Structure 1
Amino acid sequence: MQRRFFSAALVSISLAALGATPAVWAQAVPLRVLTHGSFDLPKELLAQFEKDAGVKLQIVKAGDAGEMVNKLILTKAKPIADVVYGIDNTLLPRALAAGVIDPYTGPAAQRASAAAMAEGADKTGVVSGVVPVDYGFVNLNVDKAWFSSKGLALPTSLEDLAKPAYAKLLVVQNPATSSPGQAFVFATIAGLGEEAAFQWWGQMRGNGVKVVKGWTEAYYTEFTRNGGTRPIVVSYASSPAAEVFYAKEKLSVSPTANLFLKGGVFRQVEGVALVKGGNPAARDAAAKFIEFLRSAPAQQALQTTMWMFPAEAGSARVDVMKAHASEPASFDNPSATDMSSKAKTWLQRWTKVVLK
């Protein structure tokens, strides 16, 4: 099942781990790639890229995307990477303000993208040289069998969730420790309005919303599909497809469904960029890696490894995503300016309203 955010511990994946020979290792150009903990592409695909590009990948996983950007900023004087993948549209303003990335203008930055790193971007979706790689939607998922067994109608609005009939049914992630948790809070603010959103969160506290640290705990411990007591969870639009993909038995219908409610859908776009001050000798290799992430093989593979939609315009969807991962007709994202300037205040207010 999809796992968007793993341990904060740094994990290094070397060429040797991908089965390369010592001779290839000696000849290849070292390329340091900083990613969040959920970066995941097939080992054989990465090994083929290394062979074709004459590159020795050193992938450093730095936990959550927010932790990754923190690491990038803290090591600005002596960069630990040459290229970074996983800066999303919530973190882009911070990365740009810190001056930790260099613009990339190669072919991938000039082709049309199915997603933009920020509102107002042109058809390439590129903002200051950060190239979109994939996109997805944070939204509510429901356990269909649970609702059917209880004879309870699915909620049709966020306001429904604050009613007594839906008490103690929802589990969310703490936005201070979880990227999907933060994205969901941002969506409520953009969709309902700031004051109405925090009023709703106050009502949800009274209605027994459960808050956990991260996505894994919410989905694998608290969600009724996995033995928990909460039939509604903040997850992803691709989660129903992942349920089918990883099922032990063959399924034609997913056991979970998406709820695309007003104020309950956030579009996340992830990109790749050159790291400012990275090793000059690795700059060509870094450019090759950016192009690789927008190549057809990588754009296809990420759909069932990272469970995101491909950013390359016209990319084919794998069958399980076509059948079970629907895209919402609309979503609610705050402006990039508001996400950059108000995020800290929003999270502090959320903590006071929901937890204290």
Structure 2
Amino acid sequence: MPGVNELQAESGGRRRGWSGIASRAVALTVGVGLVFTTAVACADESTTGGQVTLLTHESFELPESVIDGFRRQTGLTLEIVRSGDAGQLASTVSLTPGAPKGDAVYGIDNTFASRPIEAGALESYESPLAVDGADEYAVPGAADKLTAVDRGDVCLNIDDAWYESRSLTPPASFRDLVKPEYASQTVLTDPATSSPGTAFLLTTVGALGDGWQDYWKRVVGGGATIVSGWEVAYNQMFSAGEGKGDKPIVLSYASSPAATPDTSALLDSCFPQVEYIGILKGTRNSTGARKLVDYMLSPEVQSALPESMYVYPVQRDVELPEGWPARAAVPEWMSSLPPATIAENRESWLDQWRDAVGR
């Protein structure tokens, strides 16, 4: 795993339904996922009957026993409301500062963290448990606004079995996608609507410098497909995904091969992704939301993250599933862009990307 300082410099979507990998759906569909209605206890005087509402992305998945552990420990019920991808989630939260649709939000990552912070949509809180590792991934200058929960790496994935069955050689680097034979075999995600898409755009900006726009022109000109989000790309179009599509190259995560046999990640194409939990300003249950932040850093949740959402926990000394590090390789090199640089340039980079790909 990269060092602490390296990650902070590099940082500024996988995975649901693990019959395959969880979705990073982009459509802004809000649904109540799990509602536990047993044993209620009061938190704040303004609480809504001892309930804590967590807004999260479509990829959120933890075992029911772990979710129910929050009720057992605190007496509070937990309502989970899923809302699209991390980018959609950040936008939803940023548009409602002081009038939130829930009490806490989980799943905003380092590529979008600046939006709710600058919008004033988050309440200050520093969990006492963060000293065990989470604080090493804090957003610089805003450690009290978002608390790190997990980390992973967005990378291109290869269906090795597809290439082997055709006696073809797969790409060795993300740079190889400029070749039409590889470009036409690739499905990527739109950085305007997908957090993995944003991460890969940042990979190209950080690794290629002034040549990144030409790279995208050549990749798209060679026949690469760009879709709205991870769910469509991986589970529908990727040849090794649930839908058994016709694209053997897809944008996903370095950890995805741990769930999908005969696939691998191009480890020179990666960008680090850290996911956070924060308390929404204007929450009616601030006390309950703080307890939820603490619970997300607990051993119960941290140890469940690898097999539930195929990400690494941020807390130190959390035991990983047997063989998991070997199947979910950690890149030795990743594209590096400071958070302030991402926040300052994101919109202009998106405009330049649209020009480059003709969207």
Same fold (TM over 0.5): yes
Matching residue of 2:266: 259
| 1:238 and 2:255 are equivalent in the alignment | yes
Counting matched residue pairs gives 331
* Contiguous gaps of at least 5 residues in structure 1: 244-253
* Partner AA of 1:337 in structure 2: A
What is the TM-score of this pair, normalised by structure 1? 0.86
Matching residue of 1:203: 218
2:29 corresponds to which of 9, 15, 32: 9
| 1:276 and 2:281 are equivalent in the alignment | yes
Check conservation: 1:137, 1:266, Cα contact below 8 A. Answer: yes
Check conservation: 2:111, 2:195, Cα contact below 8 A. Answer: no
**CA 1:330/1:4 → structure 2, altered by over 3 Å: closer, same or farther?**
farther
| 1:52 and 2:73 are equivalent in the alignment | yes
The Cα RMSD (Å) is 2.1
Check conservation: 2:178, 2:219, Cα contact below 8 A. Answer: yes
Q: Look up the SS of the partner of 1:177 in the other structure.
A: coil
2:228 corresponds to which of 184, 209, 213: 213
Check conservation: 1:14, 1:56, Cα contact below 8 A. Answer: no
C-alpha distance in structure 1 between counterparts of 2:127 and 2:198, whole Å: 32
Check conservation: 2:41, 2:76, Cα contact below 8 A. Answer: no
* Partner AA of 1:328 in structure 2: P
- Alignment of structure 1 residues 56-95 onto 2, 5 Å: 56-95=77-116
- Alignment of structure 1 residues 58-137 onto 2, 5 Å: 58-113=79-134, 116-118=137-139, 127-137=143-153
Check conservation: 1:147, 1:154, Cα contact below 8 A. Answer: yes
Can you list the C-alpha shifts for 1:292-348, whole angstroms capped at 9, x where unaligned? 111111112121222111111121111252331010012114221221121112112
Matching residue of 1:172: 188
Matching residue of 1:347: 350
C-alpha distance in structure 2 between counterparts of 1:258 and 1:115, whole Å: 26
C-alpha distance in structure 1 between counterparts of 2:219 and 2:167, whole Å: 22
The farther-off stretch of 217-226 and 159-168 is: 159-168
What is the TM-score of this pair, normalised by structure 2? 0.86
**CA 1:14/1:215 → structure 2, altered by over 3 Å: closer, same or farther?**
closer
* Contiguous gaps of at least 5 residues in structure 2: 1-19, 43-48
Shift, 1:265, TM fit: 0.8
C-alpha distance in structure 2 between counterparts of 1:172 and 1:305, whole Å: 24
Can you list the C-alpha shifts for 1:160-196, whole angstroms capped at 9, x where unaligned? 2212442412111111221111111111111111x21
**CA 1:145/1:224 → structure 2, altered by over 3 Å: closer, same or farther?**
same
The farther-off stretch of 131-140 and 90-99 is: 90-99
C-alpha distance in structure 1 between counterparts of 2:170 and 2:135, whole Å: 31
Matching residue of 1:289: 292
Matching residue of 2:5: none
Runs of 4+ more than 6 Å apart: none
Check conservation: 2:135, 2:143, Cα contact below 8 A. Answer: no
Matching residue of 1:251: none
**CA 1:59/1:159 → structure 2, altered by over 3 Å: closer, same or farther?**
closer
Matching residue of 2:199: 183
**CA 1:12/1:222 → structure 2, altered by over 3 Å: closer, same or farther?**
closer
* Partner AA of 1:207 in structure 2: G
Check conservation: 2:137, 2:148, Cα contact below 8 A. Answer: yes
Shift, 1:114, TM fit: 8.4
Check conservation: 1:265, 1:331, Cα contact below 8 A. Answer: yes
Looking at both structures, which has the greater relative contact order when contacts are Cα pairs under 8 Å and sequence separation is at least 6? 2
Matching residue of 1:249: none
Q: Look up the SS of the partner of 2:252 in the other structure.
A: strand
C-alpha distance in structure 1 between counterparts of 2:93 and 2:183, whole Å: 41
The farther-off stretch of 62-71 and 323-332 is: 62-71
